[in-house]
Amino acid sequence: MVEFSIPIRVYIEDTDAGGIVYYVNYFKYFERARTEFMRYLGFNKPAFLGDDGMFVVTDASAQYQRPAHLDDALTASATVTSVGGATLIFEQRICRSDELLVAGSVTIALVSASNGRPRRLPAELRAAVDKYNS
């Protein structure tokens, strides 16, 4: 499995009164990494919405190791570890240089925007993830 990563800068809006990243904002960083990964593969969110599809998070967890601070330069990464009929499972990490700050797992599912029912992942998306991971 190949890790995809993007740079993140911690802004004041991301922090609490003590200048430490507020815990929920790490999930925003995870989201940015997943979104950019999908874009890198050639699949952006509007492409799925136009076909009555949308991704929803069905499970998310995070293990906090160390805090990030105002103005830190971070790396947010996403690795697809499992592809199901309608789901992708990502292992995700937030690091400062080589220091792991947060590790997590996020499961997303493709559902119909009109009725919320699961939809099969497109063959093109499966192929792109397989090619990236090989």
Residue 118, SS3? Answer: strand
Average pLDDT over residues 107-115: 94
Q: What is the DSSP string of 34-68?
A: HHHHHHHHT--HHHHHTTTEEEEEEEEEEEE-S--
Q: What's domain 4-133's architecture?
A: Roll (3.10)
> Confidence class of residue 1 from pLDDT cuts 50, 70 and 90?
confident
Q: Where are the domains of the chain?
A: 4-133
Q: What is the pLDDT of residues 71-83, one digit of tens each?
A: 999 999 999 999 9
What pLDDT score was predicted for residue 19? 95
> Confidence class of residue 129 from pLDDT cuts 50, 70 and 90?
very high
Residue 102, beta-bridge partner list: 64, 94
Dihedral (C-alpha) 58, 28, 42, 6: value to the nearest 10 degrees? -130
Q: What is the pLDDT of residues 84-109, one digit of tens each?
A: 999 999 999 999 999 999 999 999 99
Q: Which residues neighbour 42 within 8 Å (Cβ) at sequence distance 6 or greater?
A: 128
This prediction has a pTM of: 0.93
Catalytic annotation, pick one of 14, 16, 72, 98:
16
Q: What is the pLDDT of residues 23-62, one digit of tens each?
A: 999 999 999 999 999 999 998 776 676 788 899 999 999 9
Task: Please say if 52 is a catalytic residue.
Answer: no
What pLDDT score was predicted for residue 49? 64
